[in-house]
Amino acid sequence: MTLTTPTTAQTAAGSVRDRRACGDTGPAVRQHWGTPVTVVELDPAALLSEAAAEVDADGPALDLLPPGDIITDLDAAAAQFRASFDALADTYGPDLAPAISSVDIQVEVWRHGHDVPATGHPADLVAWWVLAASPAPTHTESGAIAFADPRAGSQMTAMPGLPWGRQLMIRPVAGAHVAVPGWLTSSVVPLEHGQYVLVAVASSVR
């Protein structure tokens, strides 16, 4: 599965830097149109322990695992996440988020019954990296991570970019990796029977 990187040239270059902010806003959410998203494909195989291969569809809807039990080199994983956060800042500008001191990584297993309603994240920057997943279900959007811009007017704008009035969906395929600012609304589509997704979720720490 080949994913694109809309932030590098398409989303931000024309629609962010050439526009002025409107009104008084905080540094994290600026009132002009440009939705910072970094989407890449990163093969996690070299970082996975033998325990990762034992994860399957049997178990609770949401399972939290010790990151060190699944990821053999947490520093290398953190560096990958940090590179994505840096890509967001490089494209969007220095006022996207405060300087990052470290990256907090959590490893989750999603199974049948798990879903997350649309919500923002408390961290300034957040990222997901699908480490492993069951084969594609009947409904291909099952277990996908969906993003939408919550700012007033985002569904009305005619300017190009993502999400721009529609959800950006990242399907649960091993290697899928996406980083966004925490204020961008994210959700998880309910998982089907027999489906599981092993995912690392990273949050920026000031």
Q: What are phi and psi of 154, to 5 degrees?
A: -65, -30
pLDDT of residue 178: 96
Single-letter amino acid code for the residue at 81: F
Say if residues 121 and 203 touch (Cβ distance below 8 Å): yes
pTM: 0.80
Which pLDDT belongs to residue 162? 47
Q: Which residue has the tokens 């993003």?
A: 147
Instruction: Give the tens place of pLDDT for each residue, 138-158.
Output: 777 899 999 987 776 555 554
Q: What angle do CA 170, 37, 154 make, to 5 degrees?
A: 95
Cα–chain center distance at 46: 21
Q: How far apart are CA 115 and CA 112, in angstroms?
A: 9
Report pLDDT for 149: 79
DSSP labels, 155-183: TT--S--SSTTS-EEE---TTEEEEEETT
pLDDT of residue 96: 85
**Which stretches of the chain drop beneath a pLDDT of 70?**
1-34, 152-167
